[in-house]
Amino acid sequence: MTNAISPLVAVNDVSMIYRTRAPNGEALETVALKNANLEINQGEFISLIGPSGCGKTTLLRLLADLIQPTSGSIGIGGKTPQQAREARAYGYVFQAPALFDWRTVMGNVMLPLEIMGYNLADRKARAENMLALVGLEKFSKNFPWQLSGGMQQRVSIARALAFEPQLLFMDEPFGALDEITRENLNLELLRLWRETGKTIIFVTHSIPEAVFLSTRVVVMTPRPGKIEKIVNVDLPHPRDFDTRESPRFFEIATEIRESLRHGHGYEGNE
């Protein structure tokens, strides 16, 4: 295999149609994603951005084999999404932390390791490492309810990283947090990405967040959900709070905002 050239993630003409029935018995079709094409290389940080109903979460769930496409094909490192899931090739961070109430912070981070059959010493060592990486080593014995929302989401990131997958899917992980916490976590996530060299696919509806984090931003529009444009983010690394104030940052943000409008037909009702 020529891994150096072929993309890590390849989405070929993928569509997702939900078929439901209206109360009057009429068959309804919702096109959540239409003819999506996307290639993602190793080590990239890709953001999927768009309003509700544009299919960004659908695309992420398709990649993770949590749902299966109506048509088209997806390759992840030369495998199907199901094979990739069975090989535990990716970590997934959900919109909510989804921590288990009855487990301590440490116990939550060790959960995937238990399921995957790591021995106790290994589980502890890895979980401690990951908690240190997200700066929560002092809270390992706490229960989730004793942590703030931002800290809970950091635990869930540590949990997703615990078995060291090379690929990380993140579905609006900071969506429920306040702006200040979100900006701090963005900075932390960028550091983590640079330190570990992982490939991250990140769903968001925040333009500044997408520009700040990504190497490329995939702009998606709804009805039907489709990929409108892929914007290259050529801001230099390492990025910090000043990055958000550079002229180039605004240029890219404006480009994304305009293509969101273009696909959405917002001009008329604004």
Partner 1 sequence: MTRSRNFVPMLVVGVVLIALYFPIMLLANYPAAARALQRGAVLECKTALECSFDMRSPIIPAPAQLLIGFSSLYFPPTSETSVPYNAFFTGLETLSGLLLASIVGLGLSVLLVASRAFERALLPWLVASQTVPIIAIAPMLAVLLGQYGVEGWIPKAIIAAYIAFFPIAIGVSKGLRSPDPIQVDLMKTYNAGSLQTFAKLRFPSSIPYLFTAFKVSVTAALIGAIISESATISGAGLGKMLSENSRASDAVGLWLVMIGSAILGILLVSIVGWLERVVTPWQRNH
| By the rule CB under 8 A, 114 interacts with partner 1 | yes
Q: For residue 101, state whether it binds partner 1 (rule: CB under 8 A).
A: yes
Q: What is the three-class DSSP state of 137?
A: helix
Nearer CB in complex with partner 1: 64/134: 64
Q: Helices 149-161 and 179-196: crossing angle, nearest 10°?
A: 20
**CA within 13 Å, CB half, 159:** 28
Nearer to partner 1, 37 or 148 (CB): 148
10, 31, 96, 230: which one binds partner 1 (CB under 8 A): 96
Show the site string, 63-92: x = touches partner 1 by CB under 8 A, - = not: -x-x------------------xx-x-xxx
Considering only residues 31-70, where is the footprint of partner 1 by CB under 8 A?
64, 66
Q: Which helix (H) or strand (E) holds 179?
A: helix 179-196
Return the closest-CA partner of residue 116 out of 85, 158, 71, 147.
85
- Tell me how far, at minimum, the Cβ of 32 lies from partner 1, in Å: 17
- 222 is a site residue for partner 1 (CB under 8 A): no
Q: What is d(CA 255, CA 244) in angstroms, rounded to the nearest whole number?
A: 15
Residues between 130 and 149 with contacts to partner 1, criterion CB under 8 A: 143, 145
Distance in Å, CB of 140 to partner 1, minimum = 15
Q: What's the CA angle centered on 39, arms 35 and 44, to 5 degrees?
A: 140
Residue with tokens 């869930």: 156
User: In 3D, which of 203, 201, 202, 207 has the Cα closest to residue 261?
Assistant: 207
* Total number of residues that touch partner 1 (CB under 8 A): 23
Q: Give the nearest distance from C-beta 204 to partner 1 in angstroms.
A: 17
Residue 102 contacts partner 1 per CB under 8 A: yes
CB atoms within 10 A of CB 257: 14
| 119 lies in the site for partner 1, by CB under 8 A | no
Q: For residue 16, state whether it binds partner 1 (rule: CB under 8 A).
A: no
The values of phi and psi at residue 135, to 5°, are: 70, 30
In this complex, which beta carbon is closest to partner 1, that of residue 143 or of residue 250? 143
Q: Which residues are CB-contacts of 142 (< 8 A; sequence separation ≥ 6)?
A: 104, 105
Q: Per CB under 8 A, does 238 bind partner 1?
A: no
Residues interacting with partner 1, by CB under 8 A? 64, 66, 85-86, 88, 90-92, 94-96, 98, 100-103, 111-112, 114-116, 143, 145
